[in-house]
A = this chain, B = another copy of it.
Amino acid sequence: MSEEHNWASRRTAKQAKLTAMQSWLNGKFGQTKDAKTILEGLIQSGDRVVLEGDNQKQASFLSQTLAQVDPEKVNHLHMIMSSISRPEHLDIFEDGIASKLDFSFAGPQSTRVSQMIADGSLVIGDIHTYLELYARLYVDLIPNVVLVAADQVDKDGNLYTGNNTEETPVIVEAAAFHDGIVIVQANQVVDRVPRVDIPGDWVDVVIPADQPYQLEPLFTRDPQNITELQILMAMMAIKGIYGKHHVQSVNHGVGFNTAAIELLLPTYGEQLGLKGKIVPNWEVNPTPTLIPAIESGWIQSIHSFGGEVGMGDYISARPDIFFVGPDGTMRSNRAFGQMAGQYALDMFVGSTLQIDQYGNSSTVTHGRLSGFGGAPNMGSNPSGRRHSTPAWQSLRPDNDPLGKGQKLVVQMVETYGANKRPVFVDSLDAVAVQKEAKLKNVPIMIYSEDTTHIVTEEGIAYLYKTDSMAERQAAIEAIAGVTPVGLRSDPAVVQDLRARGIVALPEDLGVRRTQATRSLLAAQNMADLVQWSHGLYNPPAKFRSWS
């Protein structure tokens, strides 16, 4: 290679584009009305573009603007998006602006993703977890342009991202330190930010947004919708898993099952004498249903992937518990949160739409390619982990001196889902989806080998204790109720599994079904949560039935 080789081609290209747009920029600042022109000038056809947007926070002004660019000028973009959440995230593919997509999660748009893959208007790079998508921004998906959102920006381009810092830092760093272009939409431009979350040196262009970035209260669950079946399952989980294994650190997925657990800690957990003995440390979004447990002194620390709408004031008033900056507002961090969720925790508790007869689970069902977000990070056993905790060690096989413990990975499901379809199935819909969408792997969320416990309204299957696939299947059948899988269960086998502690029914655990009533919840509704918070929690309008 000759000495004349340009080893700074990315820098040269970046400078040329910024220089060409100088008349549209005042220093780093562009005007809202010029946003489309600025994107057309700074994004080149074929570029790798990261668009911020996870399951909560969306760079919605920039995504709307990107959808308006002229596909004659900007096309064949390779988009990298944690979450496909908004219509224009897919419009840009139909309109010829983008052609390839790497993503993690597609909840609200999952049906359309499936259709677009089938009709060829979308080419998938891969379906990731959050953590691997972030990791690849430093390896083989290094971005040319990143589009992110900030709450406030000062005159030097310093960003305040506060409660919803989320994935902004890990995205911005990948571009700022590899001659990518960092474009920020700002809710507000101010003289002085409350604190600097991301230094202005890392930011190239700031555009004031026409309205604040979209933010979804994804983790808010109204206690009034928790059923007595969910309360029964929560009681079993607390006694038969949290207490039994002395779990100290935990992540809860989204859902009413885990909300029920949170609301039973100060009541049922207290009755069991578990206060001070379990779950002091959490990696979890600040779900409002945690408030009673926090106020009752159950919880020592919570680190969060993101914020939660309405929880800001409460979090600011509880800095011993939450991660809060010197300015008094929360800082979240999705990359570090996923890292902690994968490597540092005793236990992950999640839910799913389907579990097959072997124990593999997926939220991908027929026609809906939803992706996984962070669940496979949290819901897998990281074999690189070397530190040891009592919970971890309690799952250690006793016949191998070189053996080690493992992460508790718990699936909590009712045997029939909200749609009246069985959760336990012989074969996952994901197997068909793989073929339809021509994926390299069956889109399994959590593999059987990583799943240590399944909880249903029937009981708990302690899968980590099984020593063959046949025994694992029998344990699953034992708690699968009247689903086709459950109907195969042999009462004599169940009796044996119960005797050996591989399956536990409520009566085996000493959990009384009659106690599983809504009165056991520490909060019955949103108003109760507000009261527990001393008025500091401010629920979003759609959850405020009383005002």
Contact = CB atoms under 8 A, between A and B. Distances in A.
B139 A301 contact: yes
- Copies of this chain, complex-wide, total 2
Contact of A319 (B10, B320, B442): B10
Contacts of A139: 249, 281-283, 301, 303, 340, 344-345
Nearest to A324: B177
Contact of A384 (B248, B318, B377): B377
Contacts of A339: 131, 134-135, 335, 339
A97 to B, nearest CB: 24
A402 B401 CA distance: 30
A522 to B, nearest CB: 13
Contacts of A421: none
A379 B385 CA distance: 11
Nearest to A322: B178
A164 interface: no
A376 interface: yes
| Dominant secondary structure at the A interface | loop
A440 to B, nearest CB: 4
Interface stretch (A122-130, A233-241, A452-460): A122-130
A7 B6 CA distance: 56
A444 B7 CA distance: 42
B384 A201 contact: no
Contacts of A173: 331, 333, 336
A404 B140 contact: no
A541 interface: no
Interface residues of A, number: 100
A131 B102 CA distance: 25
Given A138-B337, A178-B301, A201-B326, 19 more contacts: A7-B318, A126-B387, A129-B384, A131-B339, A131-B384, A135-B340, A138-B336, A138-B344, A139-B281, A177-B325, A195-B201, A197-B199, A335-B339, A376-B383, A383-B383, A383-B447, A383-B450, A393-B440, A401-B442
24 contacts: A3-B534, A6-B320, A10-B319, A128-B386, A131-B343, A132-B384, A140-B301, A176-B325, A176-B326, A177-B323, A196-B196, A196-B199, A197-B199, A372-B386, A376-B384, A376-B385, A379-B384, A380-B384, A382-B382, A382-B384, A386-B443, A402-B444, A402-B447, A405-B441
